[in-house]
A and B are shown apart, each in its own frame.
Chain A
Amino acid sequence: MSSEQIDSSSIRDKVDRMINRTVQRSVKGLDFIRSRKEPVGLTPKDLIYERGTLRLYHYHSNADEVYRIPLIIVMATTNKSYLFDLLPGQSMVEYLLNKGFDVYMIDWNDPVQQERHLGLADYTQDFIPSCIEKVQESCGEEQVSILGYCMGGVLSTIYAATHSDGPLSNLVCLTTPVNWHEMGLFSRWNDERYFDVDKLVDTVGIIPGDFIASGFDMLRPAQKLASRIRVWDNMWNDDYVQSYRAFDRWGSETVPLAGEYFRDTTKELMWKNKLHRGELEVAGKSANLANITIPIMHTIAEHDHIVPVAASRPLLELVSSEDKEELVLKGGHVSLIAGPNAVKRMWPNVSHWLAKRSV
């Protein structure tokens, strides 16, 4: 076959593919516009405890035998927990259940105005301990492991630091900010010289989800439009579109924050950097990270634009645990949990690390 023949057949293939995809884009594009929200969080679960903004779920185990120590996932306070259970096959919860873990999830409802006074102390000294008690009742085991994501990781480390003699056996943190002076643009925008957090909290009571979402969007202003262009380009690919719609839904359902919690976070963590300095006190207890002695694993995303590596990396340097492990993975703040690299590397590594410590 001559090179001219190869070139012409190759060009014909490309033209055929382009025409085919253009037709599919038009047909599937209409479905895309008309379709409802992507169903997410489909792994069966029971709501076993609910109090205001707090929700505790227990996922149905599909194994004959599970590890002795249950795992509680603490979701970030700004987002819905179904990021961990996005779609079948793209669900960390499903993966952990298949590996034999008994999985619980602390999720957050939108707080209402009467919950505007909830602060860091309520989340770390009341909500997490109450959920642990419920888990102990539910499964009959004293010890628990916790996996905290982003601010869920911050709450979990504060809980661990203030309950060093508690039932917590293992702690896994995912992209958890510790050095808040390294929080990039968030640190700049919340500069105490210009940002009047008291005025904001005293006026609105609850920090609206839109306000928080616009902060995240401003970190990468072109991302949303670029993602929409990419989804149009990939409209012929059903898996791509389904995954995009699930992530897009998750990104648009930002959870509002209790005002006092936002004030605490801004003043104690962002401005005074007390968690990093070992000076944080919550409900009169020292939340020095050096109080943490249990096995701890920290997974960091190399290209995290929300919690930069410099903000999260100091965690393991500050704890006193002898058994500690850091895992740095390629990917961003969200893809770390449910992206392709999560499926290949993060989930197996976390599962492997927890398995040997959960018997």
Chain B
Amino acid sequence: MSNNKATDPAQVFGEWVTNWERAVNSFSNKLMETDDFSRAVNSVQNTQLQMQKVFAEMMAKQLANLNMPSRNDVLDLVEAMHALENRFEKMEMQLKKISGAMEAGTKTKAKGPARTKKAPADAKK
């Protein structure tokens, strides 16, 4: 049996891939769990974010000089619209609640299959 496995190239290749994957993952995980790795990665990320922030500020100034709205101005408008949508949604929900309560205190059951299914006989609590 073991001879069959050893002579099956597909199986040998599959095992080699699995072992290679485990070895790389294990080595990388050991490297990445060090303080040095966390410090280095976060340092690079902080630098990128700083550059992104400076660039965004410069762009906003240029747009203001051209008398054009910045991304933040547009986002503020979208946010105002979003707040209005949320208020409408809440009002709609309140109205539905009120109209539901007016229906003689009983809820109308939605159409669909009967909700009467019993638990299987072998299912004991």
Give the B-binding residues of A (Cβ under 8 A). Answer: 10, 14, 18, 21, 51-52, 61, 63-68, 100, 102, 112-115, 130, 133, 137-141, 184-185, 188-189, 191, 193-196, 199-200, 203-204, 218-223, 225-226, 229-230, 233, 323, 352, 355-359
Closest Cβ of chain A to B46, distance in Å, is 6
Q: Decide: B114 and A65 in contact? CB cutoff 8 A.
A: yes
Q: Check A185/B29 contact, CB under 8 A, given A68-B116, A233-B14.
A: yes
Interface string of B97-114 (1 = CB under 8 A from A): 000100000011110111
Q: Can you list 13 A-B pairs, Cβ within 8 angstroms, ordered by A?
A: A61-B113, A65-B115, A102-B115, A115-B82, A137-B100, A140-B110, A188-B32, A188-B33, A189-B38, A191-B35, A220-B21, A226-B21, A352-B120
Q: Check A114/B79 contact, CB under 8 A, given A61-B112, A203-B53.
A: yes
Counting from the closest, the 10 A-B pairs by CB-CB distance are A222-B24, A140-B109, A356-B123, A226-B21, A194-B42, A356-B119, A114-B79, A68-B115, A65-B117, A222-B21
How far apart are the CA atoms of A64 and B114 in the complex, in Å? 7
Task: List the A side residues contacting B49 at CB < 8 Å.
Answer: 196, 199-200, 203-204
Q: Check A220/B89 contact, CB under 8 A, given A66-B115, A188-B38.
A: no
Q: Decide: B32 and A223 in contact? CB cutoff 8 A.
A: no
How far apart are the CA atoms of A64 and B39 in the complex, in Å? 59
Q: Of B32, B43, B89, B117, which one neighbours A218 at CB under 8 angstroms? A: B32
Task: List the A side residues contacting B75 at CB < 8 Å.
Answer: 113-114
How far apart are the CA atoms of A194 and B20 in the complex, in Å? 32
Q: Of B10, B38, B96, B123, which one neighbours A18 at CB under 8 angstroms? A: B10
B62 within 8 A of A: no
Q: Decide: A196 and B33 in contact? CB cutoff 8 A.
A: no
Q: Decide: B119 and A355 in contact? CB cutoff 8 A.
A: yes
B63 within 8 A of A: no
Q: Of A51, A189, A195, A221, which one neighbours B89 at CB under 8 angstroms? A: A51
B78 within 8 A of A: yes
Task: List the B side residues contacting A139 at CB < 8 Å.
Answer: 109-110, 112, 115
Within 8 A of A (CB), among B27-68: 28-29, 32-33, 35, 37-39, 41-43, 45-46, 49-50, 52-53, 56
How far apart are the CA atoms of A189 and B125 in the complex, in Å? 43
Task: List the A side residues contacting B93 at CB < 8 Å.
Answer: 130, 133
Total number of residue pairs linking A and B with CB closer than 8 Å: 138
Closest Cβ of chain A to B42, distance in Å, is 4
Q: Decide: B20 and A226 in contact? CB cutoff 8 A.
A: yes
Q: Of B21, B35, B79, B117, which one neighbours A223 at CB under 8 angstroms? A: B21
Task: List the B side residues contacting A188 at CB < 8 Å.
Answer: 32-33, 37-38
Interface centre among B8, B46, B56, B117 (most CB of A within 10 A): B117
Task: List the A side residues contacting B86 at CB < 8 Å.
Answer: 51
Q: Decide: A194 and B79 in contact? CB cutoff 8 A.
A: no
Q: Decide: B8 and A14 in contact? CB cutoff 8 A.
A: yes
Nearest-CB residue, chain B, relative to A112: B78
Task: List the A side residues contacting B39 at CB < 8 Å.
Answer: 193-194
B91 within 8 A of A: no
Q: Check A359/B10 contact, CB under 8 A, given A52-B82, A140-B108.
A: no
Q: Of A64, A115, A195, which one neighbours B38 at CB under 8 angstroms? A: A195
Nearest-CB residue, chain A, relative to B42: A194
Q: Check A359/B108 contact, CB under 8 A, given A51-B89, A222-B25, A226-B21.
A: no
Task: List the B side residues contacting A199 at CB < 8 Å.
Answer: 46, 49-50
Closest Cβ of chain A to B50, distance in Å, is 8
Nearest-CB residue, chain A, relative to B7: A14
Q: Decide: A356 and B10 in contact? CB cutoff 8 A.
A: no
B2 within 8 A of A: no
Task: List the B side residues contacting A185 at CB < 8 Å.
Answer: 29, 32-33
Closest Cβ of chain A to B87, distance in Å, is 12
Q: Check A196/B42 contact, CB under 8 A, given A138-B110, A185-B33.
A: yes
Q: Decide: B53 and A64 in contact? CB cutoff 8 A.
A: no
Closest Cβ of chain B to A24, distance in Å, is 13
Task: List the B side residues contacting A229 at CB < 8 Å.
Answer: 17
How far apart are the CA atoms of A219 and B25 in the complex, in Å? 8
Task: List the B side residues contacting A200 at CB < 8 Å.
Answer: 45, 49
Nearest-CB residue, chain A, relative to B34: A188
Nearest-CB residue, chain B, relative to A357: B125
Q: Decide: B33 and A18 in contact? CB cutoff 8 A.
A: no
